A and B are shown apart, each in its own frame.
Chain A
Amino acid sequence: MVAGLSFELLMAIVVSMSGLVCFGLIMVLTLRSINASVAVGVVGSVLSWLAALYLFIHYWPAREAVVFQVNWLVSSHVQVPFGYYFDSLSLLMLMIVVTISTLIQIYSIGYMAGDPGKSRYYAFLCLFAWSMINLVIAPALIQLYIFWELVGVSSYLLIGFYFEKYSASEAGKKAFVMTRAGDIGFFIGLVLLFLAMGHLAVDVFSSGEKIAAVLPNLKPLFPMKPETLLTISAILIFSGAVGKSAQFPLMTWLPDAMEGPTPVSALLHSATMVAAGVYLVSRIFPFYEASHTAMLVMLVIGTITMLLSSTMAMVARDIKQVWAYSTISQLGFMLMGLGAGAYFAGVFHLTTHAFFKALLFLCAGVFIHHFDTNDFFDMSKGGARKMLIPMIAVTIGVCALSGLPPFSGFFSKEAVMGALAAKHWVWLAAGLLGAAMTAYYSFRVIFVMWFPRGGAAGHAHAHGHVGHADADAHEDHGAHKGGAVWITEWCMLAVLIVLSAITLVLGAFEGEIEAFIIGAKEAATAAQGAAAEGGHGIGHTTVLVLALSCALAGVILAWFEYGARRATQTGFLSRYKAVERLFANRWYMDHFYRKLLDYVVYGGFSNVFTRNDRVVIDGGIDGFSNLTLGLGRLFSRLQSGLLQRNLYVTFFLLALMGLYFFLV
């Protein structure tokens, strides 16, 4: 379907290759010169942003998917294509990815100022963006899988960016290994499908009719019904999304992933790494819709994840950890929406979440950069409220996260809630509980930061003073450097302002995006359907009111515990020590994995292999050499050194020989 080198194709090439080219340029040429590397990275990402913007606007009215692809591998009737697949979903996601990665590259100019590894950092950022962009526009699941792994590799590189720090390199490894655990299932699922279908074109998977047409012609490897195969492979592929999007059994890598630089966390948590899992599910959503079991699994996993990680966030003191838990819970929420069958709601929440979560992390980055601590209680004592722009930005982000109108999160959350209500009231109740907890823990952060407490004890007060002194020292230090600092500060603040603006207005475009994603006609019928459903199910207005009141309840609880004048700033959970410990230890999931590793890997496999090594291999060689030695020792007895005994034996043998010849 390659139709010459049209301008669109050229733009697509720019979008898809600029990251790799920048990565190569930085790694080969400009690793020594930090400024040149930054320039290469930023120019490259701005270029790809412009190209993506062109494509987005150009294809805006188009309802048909546009495909550019060439055959990469051909073997008899099996073909593996490589290329670009532009439909409304991939265009929207592409836009999110390039926008956020460009903003983060600009922000990093300020955040990473003075870091000796900045060139390497920019190279990895480019690689990260490149892998994600190509994942998004993949025309076949095989290409998607390849870039999926590349996203994993580059996130490993970035999480472990401060590799000289032990915890950072451990976190990188953990992220890589845990996501790989899910990817095994993903790969097996892909192989099963590939063997049965002979190709993995996204085109087929993203259309319900085409899947229905393909289904009877499937030739499964093992004798089973095509529907069974579909369910099994859907669940296996979903396990890849579970790993990547940090869902329930494999969620603990994400809170550790904040060991990387904060802009990386922002990128990781919003548009690239974790979004990949949800994107995969929405990319092949009709495929999932064909299997009720897979949808139910998705719904259940999403619900468990959302509730568990919200509880974890309620007791965390580290600002990045709070945002990390909230990312997990929001991803769970998206999967709940998708699992409930609401394609648009999930995708729209992914979109809004990408922007406000990037905003929240980048705000956290400003505070961390300024106060040199991750603990938001310490930030508050250090005078965080005086930094007006980041404070306002973080408040906007939190309002969006909690789903308060008129911020973008409100619209998308409400869309998901509507879908859950249509499914069953249990899911709605879980969603509402999650919304209340989300509002509680995110406003907890905000209230603590807006209303610092000196603390009743003198110690805390002194600590606050130290924080002040640090901040002052920081500012003095900054003043000496002059103009450069001004630029770096504004790089960061400008990005915050842009993201806040997007977060503020994005909700207003719900209708347009919905029309773009699922088509104007379908959107209208969906709305009518929802209105008609309102008669017998839980009404749309009811859901709206319920969701809002739950969020407000969370906010009010947070206000009484952290905001009000007489509030002690200790949560109600600290009255239940056991529960608090359970939440703070992430429900002991890490302990569980530790134990599992100890028993299964170290105690099981590695023990067996060690024994094999020690006993069979080492023992065999040792035994052989011992045998040789023993035989040698035995025979060396013959060498008595007594000449006459040797002569005795010689004569005796000669005599025997003589006797033999004499007799025979």
Chain B
Amino acid sequence: MNSLYVYLFVALFLFCVGLWGVLHRRSLIAMLISVELMLNAASINFLAFNRFLSPDPAVGQIVVLFIMGTAAAEAAIGLSIILALFRRYQSVEIGKAQELKG
């Protein structure tokens, strides 16, 4: 079995776990963590394709660095949103934030 597929399956597994977490966890923090998982899955994909298909220009690695940067920024913004929500609702339950219900 080609080792590229191993990486891809690992990445797929990670992405699915992250997706499930985003869609099903009640806690906003858990959702944020799940988003991080999905980002990491994408990073693994980039690295694997870079390593096995076109190793010479290390574009994949650079993209992964970008992803890590955006992930850090995203974590900062996400956490501050979560903080603001917590101040308002005294909880980080996603079910509480329903004010935009039509």
Please state if B99 and A641 are interface contacts (CB–CB under 8 Å). Answer: yes
Please state if B98 and A641 are interface contacts (CB–CB under 8 Å). Answer: yes
Determine if B24 is an interface residue (Cβ-Cβ < 8 Å).
yes
Contacts of B94 in A (CB 8 A): 643-644
Contacts of B101 in A (CB 8 A): 639-641
Determine if B53 is an interface residue (Cβ-Cβ < 8 Å).
no
Please state if B23 and A635 are interface contacts (CB–CB under 8 Å). Answer: no
Which listed residue (A637, A643, A647, A648) contacts B102, Cβ 8 A? Answer: A637
Please state if B23 and A648 are interface contacts (CB–CB under 8 Å). Answer: yes
Contacts of A638 in B (CB 8 A): 102
Distance of B18 from chain A, by nearest CB (Å) = 11
Within 8 A of B (CB), among A621-664: 635-644, 647-648, 651
Looking across the interface, which residue of chain A has its beta carbon closest to that of B99?
A641
Pairs across A and B, CB under 8 Å, 7 listed: A635-B102, A639-B100, A639-B102, A640-B98, A641-B99, A642-B95, A651-B19
Beyond A647-B23, A648-B23: 15 further Cβ-contacts under 8 Å?
A: A637-B102, A638-B102, A639-B100, A639-B101, A640-B98, A640-B101, A640-B102, A641-B99, A641-B101, A642-B98, A644-B22, A644-B23, A644-B24, A647-B22, A651-B23
Which listed residue (A635, A637, A643, A648) contacts B97, Cβ 8 A? Answer: A643
Distance of B39 from chain A, by nearest CB (Å) = 15
Q: A-contacting residues of B (Cβ < 8 Å)? A: 19, 22-24, 94-95, 97-102
Contacts of B97 in A (CB 8 A): 641, 643
Looking across the interface, which residue of chain B has its beta carbon closest to that of A642?
B98
Contacts of A635 in B (CB 8 A): 102
Please state if A636 and B102 are interface contacts (CB–CB under 8 Å). Answer: yes
Contacts of A641 in B (CB 8 A): 97-102
Contacts of A647 in B (CB 8 A): 22-23
Number of interface residues of A (CB under 8 A): 13
Q: State the CA gap A647–B38 with chains docked (Å).
A: 14
Within 8 A of B (CB), among A178-235: none
Contacts of B98 in A (CB 8 A): 640-642
Contact with B along A581-612 (1 / 0, CB 8 A): 00000000000000000000000000000000
The 3 closest A-B pairs by CB, nearest first: A636-B102, A641-B101, A639-B102
Distance of B88 from chain A, by nearest CB (Å) = 15
Distance of A378 from chain B, by nearest CB (Å) = 78
Looking across the interface, which residue of chain A has its beta carbon closest to that of B100?
A641
Looking across the interface, which residue of chain A has its beta carbon closest to that of B94?
A643
Contacts of A642 in B (CB 8 A): 95, 98
Looking across the interface, which residue of chain A has its beta carbon closest to that of B26?
A644
Q: State the CA gap A643–B81 with chains docked (Å).
A: 14
Looking across the interface, which residue of chain B has its beta carbon closest to that of A645?
B23
Q: State the CA gap A648–B99 with chains docked (Å).
A: 19
Distance of B30 from chain A, by nearest CB (Å) = 12
Contacts of A644 in B (CB 8 A): 22-24, 94
Distance of A50 from chain B, by nearest CB (Å) = 88
Q: State the CA gap A651–B22 with chains docked (Å).
A: 11
Contacts of A637 in B (CB 8 A): 102
Distance of B22 from chain A, by nearest CB (Å) = 6
Which of A636, A637, A641 lies at the interface centre, i.e. has the most chain B CB atoms within 10 A of its CB?
A: A641
Q: State the CA gap A651–B16 with chains docked (Å).
A: 12
Q: State the CA gap A381–B54 with chains docked (Å).
A: 132
Contacts of B102 in A (CB 8 A): 635-641
Within 8 A of B (CB), among A245-287: none
Q: State the CA gap A648–B19 with chains docked (Å).
A: 9
Q: State the CA gap A322–B57 with chains docked (Å).
A: 122
Distance of B10 from chain A, by nearest CB (Å) = 20
Looking across the interface, which residue of chain A has its beta carbon closest to that of B28?
A643
Distance of A468 from chain B, by nearest CB (Å) = 86
Distance of A38 from chain B, by nearest CB (Å) = 77
Contacts of A643 in B (CB 8 A): 94, 97
Q: State the CA gap A3–B100 with chains docked (Å).
A: 91
Contact with B along A524-568 (1 / 0, CB 8 A): 000000000000000000000000000000000000000000000
Distance of A634 from chain B, by nearest CB (Å) = 10
Contact with B along A12-51 (1 / 0, CB 8 A): 0000000000000000000000000000000000000000
Q: State the CA gap A637–B19 with chains docked (Å).
A: 25
Q: State the CA gap A644–B30 with chains docked (Å).
A: 13
Distance of A635 from chain B, by nearest CB (Å) = 7
Contacts of B95 in A (CB 8 A): 642
Contact with B along A498-526 (1 / 0, CB 8 A): 00000000000000000000000000000
Looking across the interface, which residue of chain B has its beta carbon closest to that of A651?
B19
Contacts of A640 in B (CB 8 A): 98, 101-102
Q: State the CA gap A643–B78 with chains docked (Å).
A: 14
Distance of B33 from chain A, by nearest CB (Å) = 15
Looking across the interface, which residue of chain B has its beta carbon closest to that of A636?
B102
Q: State the CA gap A641–B96 with chains docked (Å).
A: 9
Distance of B92 from chain A, by nearest CB (Å) = 13
Contacts of B100 in A (CB 8 A): 639, 641
Looking across the interface, which residue of chain A has its beta carbon closest to that of B22?
A647
Q: State the CA gap A641–B23 with chains docked (Å).
A: 14
Q: State the CA gap A641–B94 with chains docked (Å).
A: 10
Looking across the interface, which residue of chain B has its beta carbon closest to that of A640?
B101
Q: State the CA gap A638–B100 with chains docked (Å).
A: 11
Q: State the CA gap A456–B22 with chains docked (Å).
A: 110
Contacts of A651 in B (CB 8 A): 19, 23
Contacts of B19 in A (CB 8 A): 651
Contacts of B99 in A (CB 8 A): 641
Which of B95, B97, B98, B102 lies at the interface centre, i.e. has the most chain A CB atoms within 10 A of its CB?
A: B102
Q: State the CA gap A642–B97 with chains docked (Å).
A: 8
Looking across the interface, which residue of chain B has its beta carbon closest to that of A634?
B102
Looking across the interface, which residue of chain B has its beta carbon closest to that of A643?
B94
Looking across the interface, which residue of chain B has its beta carbon closest to that of A639?
B102
Distance of B34 from chain A, by nearest CB (Å) = 11
Q: State the CA gap A647–B95 with chains docked (Å).
A: 14
Looking across the interface, which residue of chain A has its beta carbon closest to that of B98?
A641
